[in-house]
Structure formats: structure tokens, C-alpha cells
Structure 1
């Protein structure tokens, strides 16, 4: 989605937020000039009662699937999984219909109804950190650098056991229960 002068990823559309939020790091990456940012401190209280202070306020254009709007966003300086959180002000302004179940947003445009779908989830590989504790693992993105991925050694089995293992593997592959993963050596 286009926010300001940049194509921003990791945007949460959340009807539970009464304000639009943008992280300070995003504004720095966009190289927004100081005169566009209004120093305006306010307090945000989360559902759990957690309190965050905003640093400023900024008006930025947003563009989503043919619908342009000019939005007021509060600036936060904190770590977040999202770069921008679009709340009820944006949802009502563009007449969006977000669906968490379908992982999409429908927006009425001049050309009809546009659907913005969430990107597919990143595939991950499970990496066991210590063989003595197989229940302790981390998930590593499949497209992670090779230096992060595990270096597995192929185990040798007796020929009769190898045939049984291959037969079971073929069954699981055919059923779609497992998939083949190739690791560089």
C-alpha cells in the first residue's frame, strides 16, 4: 500500500484502533521533512491498560487499490511488528470492509469493489536447537540465508530398513503430509 511517498509493507488494518499509527522508523526511511510533522504529544491506552506516548502527528496521503485519502496519523517510537496501523478513521474514510476471517479488505472504488488480500504466510523450517530437547526449536524462514539454516548429516541405514523408510516417505509425500526440503551442504 502506498503511504506518503513510499510503498509500505507490514500494515495492520485494525478496527479496534481509534487512531491511525505510523512508526517513527518508517518516517525516517521515507525522509519526511520536519515541517510536515506536527509535534503533538498524546497518550494511547491499549486494551490491556498499557500506555504509550505518541511523539507527533502527521498528515499523509494513502493509496489503496484506486482509492486515495489524506490521513492523520500519530507517530510512535517503539518496536512493532507493523510499520503502519490503520484504524477506524481510515476504515471509515475509505469505506473499507476488513475481514479478519478472509484476510482481506474490500474497498468501494469508482470502478467497483476492489479486494486487497493479505500476502501469503512465509514458509518456515523447524530447527531443533539441541537434540536432547526436541521440543525446543525455532522457526526459520525458508528463504533465510544458508548460514542460518541447519547443517544436517544424512544417516545411513541397512538396505532393508532403507527400503521401508523410502516406502513410508513416498506415502507421506503422496498424501501431502510432508514436503521435500533441500539443504545446501
Structure 2
């Protein structure tokens, strides 16, 4: 279980800090190399360590979520951005701090 998941419709990536990945490391998942460079909120450039696809359960629904792993120290344990929001048809509400999506 992961606490402090940030859902941000302004983010073009799903981001997982390396510290969170170290806590969750699954032997069935491998970190794929990535040459991506990301511009952070403060305008600085950060390199992506790699990419990993993990199973995520939200409520009773399970998703394959691809994260960009970065060596950062954010206030959240992972960030779900537009790729996840659009893939599941989610509707995030910052005001209510909730997310809605249709589950089969």
C-alpha cells in the first residue's frame, strides 16, 4: 500500500521516486533504461533513471501503470499524471481531493 499519491492533471508523466521503488521493489519487474530528461517545476532539468511498469490497485480495480523513476525527494510517494488519468478515464477533483473513474 502506498500513501501520499499525488494525482496531477498538469503532469505529463507518471513519476515514482527511487526511494518509493526501493520500498516496493518487485522481483518480477525490471527497470528499463531511459534517456529522457524532464524539466522540473522549478525549471531545472532532471534525468530519468528508468521506466518501470507496476500493477496498481485502486479500490477493486487493478491497473498496469508505467512510471518514470527519478532520484528526487518529493513530498509524495508517487505521482499519477495525465497518462494514467486518460488511460482509465479518471476525473480528478482537487477541491474534493478525490478521483472518480468507471470500474467494470
Query: How high is the TM-score relative to the length of structure 1?
Result: 0.52
The answer for unaligned runs of 5 or more in structure 1 is: 1-6, 111-185
Distance, in Å, in 2 between the alignment partners of 1:68 and 1:42 is 27
Deviations 1:101-121 (A, max 9, x none): 1111111112xxxxxxxxxxx
Question: Do the aligned partners of 1:13 and 1:87 also contact (CA within 8 Å) in 2?
Answer: yes
* Number of equivalent positions: 104
Q: Does 1:63 align with 2:57?
A: yes
The answer for unaligned runs of 5 or more in structure 2 is: none
- Of residues 17, 21, 24 in structure 2, which corresponds to 1:23? 17
Q: Does 1:52 align with 2:46?
A: yes
Question: Do the aligned partners of 1:21 and 1:85 also contact (CA within 8 Å) in 2?
Answer: yes
Distance, in Å, in 1 between the alignment partners of 2:90 and 2:28 is 31
Matches within 5 A, 1:1-185: 7-33=1-27, 36-110=30-104
Question: Do the aligned partners of 1:37 and 1:57 also contact (CA within 8 Å) in 2?
Answer: yes
Q: Which has the larger radius of gyration?
A: 1
Deviation (angstroms), 1:90: 0.6
Query: How high is the TM-score relative to the length of structure 2?
Result: 0.90
Which structure ranks higher in relative contact order (CA pairs < 8 Å, sequence separation ≥ 6)? 2
Give SS of 1:22's match: strand
Give SS of 1:73's match: strand
Give SS of 1:78's match: coil
Superposition RMSD in Å: 1.6
Q: Whose helix proportion is higher, 1 or 2?
A: 1
Deviation (angstroms), 1:46: 3.0
